[in-house]
Amino acid sequence: MHLHKYEKIWLVFGLVSLIVFLSIVGVSAFSHGHTPAGGMTTIDPKKVNETAPFDKPGVTQIDDDTYQVAIVAMAFGYTAPDLKVPVGKEIIFKVTSTDVVHSFTIDNTKVNMMVVPGQITTKSYTFDKPGKYLILCNEYCGSGHHYMFTEIEVY
């Protein structure tokens, strides 16, 4: 009789932990997933280098509180010279790819976007801490995928 009761308790416990586990996995998969496309604009992937703002990649100040950062992703790196942006200001990242699908992921932030050739992916972000942040690709894109990274300095 006792055994039977304990078995039931363990069965319920097992089911409850399974549900808790699944919901944690579900929630974290959702929150760590790729940012849904904010503003998707199309671009000719063969003409990226001559299409604004990618003809002059890098940081552009738009007004007192807003900066735009244009970045081209390609196998295997990011065209993003001298990435330095101020803390506490709105930074609008615009990223596109000239070849295959990459990601634009800034370590320790919520910036994690898929970069698709033919599209401009836009994401606004405000850094709240100065420092150097690693930008990396977490979308497998070929043999050099693991070497695809750069850095942004927040001052």
Residues lying near ligand CUA in the complex (CB under 6 A) are found at 76, 102, 137, 139-141, 145, 148
Describe the chain by its helix, strand, coil percentages, rounded to 5: 25, 40, 35
At its nearest, how many Å lie between ligand CUA and the CB of residue 47? 21
**Collapsed DSSP state (helix, strand, coil) of residue 76:** coil
**CA 146 to mean position of chain CA atoms:** 16
State the nearest-atom distance from the C-beta of 78 to ligand CUA, in Å: 9
Which of residues 103 and 109 has its CB atom nearest to ligand CUA in the complex? 103
Minimum distance of ligand CUA from residue 6's CB (angstroms): 50
Q: Check: CB of residue 67 under 8 Å from CB of residue 92.
A: yes
Residue number with CB closer to ligand CUA (90 or 99): 99
Nearer Cβ to ligand CUA, position 67 or 149?
149
